Amino acid sequence: MAAQQITRVVSKFNTNELQTCKKGKTMDYPFVKVEIKERVALITIDRQESMNALNCEVLSSLDKAFASLGKEVRAVILTGAGKAFVAGADIKEFAEYTPQQAREFSLLGSRIAAAIENFRGPVIAAINGFALGGGCELALACDMRIASDKAKLGQPEVNLGVIPGFGGTQRLSRIVGMSQAKYLVLTGEIIKADKALTLRLVDEVVAPEKLLERCFEIAKLIASKAPIAVAYAKEAINYGAECDLSHALAYETEVFAQLYATYDQREGCKAFIEKREAKFENR
């Protein structure tokens, strides 16, 4: 199992990636904008007339946005334009779904969440306002969640006669614990950022005007590290969360050993010994 997992990570660093992102590049998709600068991609969901609600078009654009990121992108910040991160799924679109349509919509949303979760570098949710339903689920799929003190989060799907469908029932319990997850999902309560911080649903709470600045600060710090090591570390943590400790430790050992076949490991150690800044080359 560990060898298969390692092969999957290494394949992310081949030379046939979809697109190499250049410094200062901007890409636009319907309702989604991607800005790349200093090895950090800022992905903004911009459908402000509906509080950035998720429909099939927005989800498809997010899918394309993440797929388009080249290996020069070492960290991603995901946020929403205006007053919301994402206020949920577009109720007008899915209200009359058949069970088959609902299944397909859930699979689409789950695929985007998986793309976020499995992206080789860290994905930071900059939660600037409402993160409800599918929006909260996108944030849960991110590696870190930084919230404005004006943010509100929740899984209120039971008010509509449904449950979270993009992974919320599973990721939420892994982050805040089963009891708190049940409370939030079964009551549909919407909580403020300070309570979310207490529950460890978010990692930091900052003033609205400092939100993106703080997220970029974290992203750029991680982007300065050895990118293959960052990818392996993320993969090891994710893998370990899904299996027993003995398998997780065995996987960590294999990953640790594999990194000694990389240029960046040699460069990092040499730079430390020579008391200079390392120049990582992602190989």
Domains of the chain: 16-223 (3.90.226.10), 227-273 (1.10.12.10)
Is 157 considered catalytic here? yes
- DSSP-based three-state secondary structure for 90: coil
Report pLDDT for 7: 35
DSSP, residue by residue, 31-48? TEEEEEETTEEEEEE--G
Mean pLDDT in residue range 29-51: 96
pTM tops 0.85, yes or no: yes
Q: How confident is the model at residue 23 (pLDDT cuts 50, 70, 90)?
A: very low
Determine which one of 157, 235, 267, 274 is catalytic. 157
23-30 long-range Cβ contacts below 8 angstroms, 24+ apart: 23/72, 27/65, 27/68, 29/61, 29/64, 29/65, 30/57, 30/58, 30/60, 30/61
- N residues, the chain: 283
Mean pLDDT in residue range 215-220: 97
Q: How confident is the model at residue 71 (pLDDT cuts 50, 70, 90)?
A: confident
Q: How confident is the model at residue 129 (pLDDT cuts 50, 70, 90)?
A: very high
- For the segment 147-192, what is each residue's pLDDT rounded down to a tens digit? 999 999 999 999 999 999 999 999 999 999 999 999 999 999 999 9
- For the segment 251-267, what is each residue's pLDDT rounded down to a tens digit? 999 999 999 999 999 99
Alpha carbon distances (Å) from 242 to 178, 230, 239, 247: 15, 19, 6, 10
Determine which one of 38, 117, 137, 274 is catalytic. 137
Q: How confident is the model at residue 18 (pLDDT cuts 50, 70, 90)?
A: very low
Q: Which of 151, 127, 126, 133 is nearest to 90 (CA)?
A: 133
Instruction: State the chain's mean pLDDT as an integer.
Output: 90
Sign of CA dihedral 170, 172, 175, 179: negative
State the Cα–Cα distance between residues 191 and 269, nearest whole angstrom: 45
Q: Which residues, in sequence order, are CB contacts of 109 under 8 Å at separation 6+?
A: 54, 59, 89, 134, 137, 165, 166, 167
Buried b (16+ CB within 10 A) or exposed e, 126-146: bbbbbbbbbbbbbbbbbbbbb
- For the segment 75-92, what is each residue's pLDDT rounded down to a tens digit? 999 999 999 999 999 998
Mean pLDDT in residue range 203-224: 97
Contact 55, 102 (CB under 8 A): no
Report pLDDT for 24: 66
